[in-house]
Chains A and B, each alone.
Chain A
Amino acid sequence: MNTLKQQIIISGVGGQGVLFVTRVMAEAAIAKGLPVFTSETHGMAQRGGTVVSHLKIGTFASPMIRPYQADGMISLKAENIAIHGSYVKPGGWVVVNSEHDVETDLDVTICRIDADGLAQSSGQARSANLIVLGFALARISRQAADAGHRFFCDVEDIRSVLEAQLSRKKPMLDASVRAIETGYNQGINKEGVCDGLYTV
């Protein structure tokens, strides 16, 4: 029996692909035989409003994460750390899409990537969400390994999910895989943007 339990907040604004990132990660969990629960934002809020997903991997009864219980947070907007950062437990991690350094009073490790900038310069304006995910996978795996445990999935798991999900949309699949790799390479690259809280 696998006793792995991980809780992750994915936060952004409507139209950024918060649900897509959540879905891809949840599918990766299923592919590995892990129980999974997510909670999503639909409806009016998705019209440019604040959107948050809760992702729970392992045996849980409810879809919602309580404040200060999440292992980490993927924030597709810098301002959302102020809104949803308090879900993350002390000592947890936040991976954020931001052009500038982010200040916070929270006891969390912040890793920053300018995914919007990277997406624009590579001509894939809509793939910033997957660049952040790729970056997160590189950084979280490393941090988890340092702490002596494993993150529930890796970049190969995500690639397999994308291949299964987008098998009939080849151009979209190629762009998505490219975006994941772009982010991942930034994450493993020592020169990658990181605000210094986290030492590579």
Chain B
Amino acid sequence: MKTRKLMLGNEAIAQGLAENGCRVATSYPGTPASEILPALADLKNETGVPAHVQWAVNEKVAFEIAYAASITGLRSAVSMKQVGLNVASDPLMSAAYMGTRGGFVIISADDPGPHSSQTEQDSRLMAMMAKIPVLDPDSPAQAKDMTALAYDISETFQIPVMLRPTTRVCHSRQDIQAGPVPLADAKADFKKDPTRWAATPKFRYQLHKQLETKLNDIAEFEKTAPVRLNPEVVSSKAVVTSGVCAAYVREVMQDSGLMEKISLYQVLQPYPLHLRFMEELVQHHEDVLVIEETDPVIEMQLADRHRVKGKLNGVVPGVGELLPERILEIIGGFAGVEVPSVRLPDVPGRRPTLCAGCPHRASFFAIKRAVPKGIYTGDIGCYTLGLNLGAVDTVLCMGAAISQAAGFYHAYKDQPDPPDVVATIGDSTFFHAGIPALVDAVVQNVRFVLVILDNSTTAMTGNQPTPASGIGACGESLTTVDIDAVVRGCGVRFCREADPYQLDALTGLLKEAVSYARENGPAVIISKHPCLIHRRGAARDVVSVPVAVTDACDGCGYCIRHFECPALVLKGDSGRVTIDPMACSQCGVCIHVCPKHALIEQKNN
């Protein structure tokens, strides 16, 4: 009997990798890609498949590990989010030239919308720049099928292949048929060939020529040719689509009866676009509408532009997610038929906030208290939400808290009375991209304070381990790297640890660090307290401090504005703050926040 399993898009991709014999898989977590590697780790643990599955310190390192496995002849994969691909772009460009031996799949998950990213960038453009083929799945099921296709292309043409799912593919669930996972050992067999694997510029020119030849051949590869979804329809109009938009288009064209009236093509491989397809479009159709997320990658490759409607002439929006209701309007306009125009009202929802009891909130509060007039450079992670508390002034990309702090210092240093600069970065992000920036700050004697918000996990993306965790993707024991030792090894002479729940002590230490930094150079505080979500369910090693609100509370709202704990609620006209017992983690930090001393520890409980 066939059993269908409910799978997240990312789990379907992992299933596809496992079914197709992936033997080395690496990743750095990032939404919407984070669940691919853990799903593969689960499959490894369940089936005993001899694969190496690991979280790497960043995407560049992850890429290079998986790529090396590929050139030994093994099938491998690296997964990341679109901004992570920027970090891995250096090896990506070169790997495209040198090519692969065992199939190598680069999964770069895009986030149109953007739901939880700094950019809406389209990884398909990165594939185009690197000159590698890219596949654009419309659903979890197709994402799984496309991993097989990706390995096929990669090995047929000896080229890295990108699989580019988007948020709605990664984070939708579908019933999917799981197939068997082959357990046979694959043998690594690296054949030395310095003209290829260590090519000097002279050979790189040859490799570039080979790459162009490969691309021409891939543009004729039958298995990735665009699919005509309603071949019986003869129409002067055609819709061309790919990715999750193809799923939306199918559904809205079926529901509105346009499936019988307008030709519909789904592009599986947006780059390189099939040459014969481009000719066919021009031969058979007067008007072509291209619907794709996020950038006009397919559209730009269609040469006969005057027939084409899409993002370049504003028919399709060039920014933001293309939701099915919007697509229905666009296709209705293209077809010249009335369709209902429906939009959700633009009601702002609740903004994200740090969890009740999150140690980062306490750290930010202490920073604001100790250095009220500082410039606060921030970074990527849960603690980006410190901006709600006014304790994060900049967020650029991974690791930039430290380099931007240096930039602010250099910009202000010749002015009288330069501002104090306090940078915050999470433990995982510090390992990812903070260390080189800290080395630079030490060398340049940047006078700033760095607070490493160490919650002992990568919380935002689902609590993946860090190099300090001592645990691997499959639960295996690993060696740990000590943050304090790294900081000292970078040459920082002031490095102290504090528990952010001890708010007064941390505030004092921050003041000390600021005075040190003003005179001497970088000062680092490791503000260490485990993530609440990570700890949930495990034995709690902290003392619960239940809090009571006394009559001294006059409802001034200071705690809500400056501490923003979701467990503190000021209801309409009750005049007093109340504590939501459903949300409160009993961390007790708010006791030190109230200027009226109205929050006290509740005794006899």
Contacts and interface: CB of A to CB of B under 8 A. Distances in A.
A23 B4 CA distance: 15
A85 to B, nearest CB: 9
A62 B352 contact: no
A45 B354 CA distance: 10
Interface stretch (B218-226, B301-309, B341-349): B341-349
Interface of B: 4-6, 8, 31-32, 34, 115-116, 138-139, 168, 171-175, 244, 247-248, 250-252, 254, 323-325, 328, 342-345, 347, 349-355, 382, 384-385, 460-461, 566, 581-583
Given A45-B115, A62-B250, A67-B344, A14 B352 contact: yes
A60 interface: yes
A35 interface: yes
Interface residues of A, number: 46
29 contacts: A26-B6, A27-B6, A30-B5, A30-B6, A38-B172, A38-B173, A40-B8, A40-B172, A45-B115, A46-B352, A47-B353, A47-B354, A47-B460, A48-B354, A61-B248, A61-B250, A61-B251, A62-B248, A63-B244, A63-B247, A64-B323, A66-B323, A68-B342, A79-B350, A84-B344, A86-B344, A86-B345, A119-B582, A126-B582
B496 to A, nearest CB: 28
Contacts of A80: 349
Contacts of A42: 31-32, 34, 115-116, 171
From DSSP, what is the main secondary structure of chain B's interface residues?
A: loop
A45 to B, nearest CB: 5
A84 B345 CA distance: 9
A35 B175 contact: yes
B259 to A, nearest CB: 11
Interface in A75-128: 79-80, 82-84, 86-87, 116, 119-120, 125-126, 128
Interface of A: 13-15, 22-23, 26-27, 29-30, 35-50, 60-64, 66-68, 79-80, 82-84, 86-87, 116, 119-120, 125-126, 128
Nearest to B169: A63
A44 B118 CA distance: 11
A43 B4 CA distance: 27
A37 B352 contact: no
Given A26-B6, A45-B352, A66-B342, 15 more contacts: A15-B355, A27-B6, A36-B175, A43-B460, A45-B115, A48-B354, A61-B139, A64-B248, A67-B343, A86-B344, A86-B345, A119-B582, A120-B582, A125-B582, A128-B582
A60 B34 CA distance: 26
A113 to B, nearest CB: 15
B540 to A, nearest CB: 15
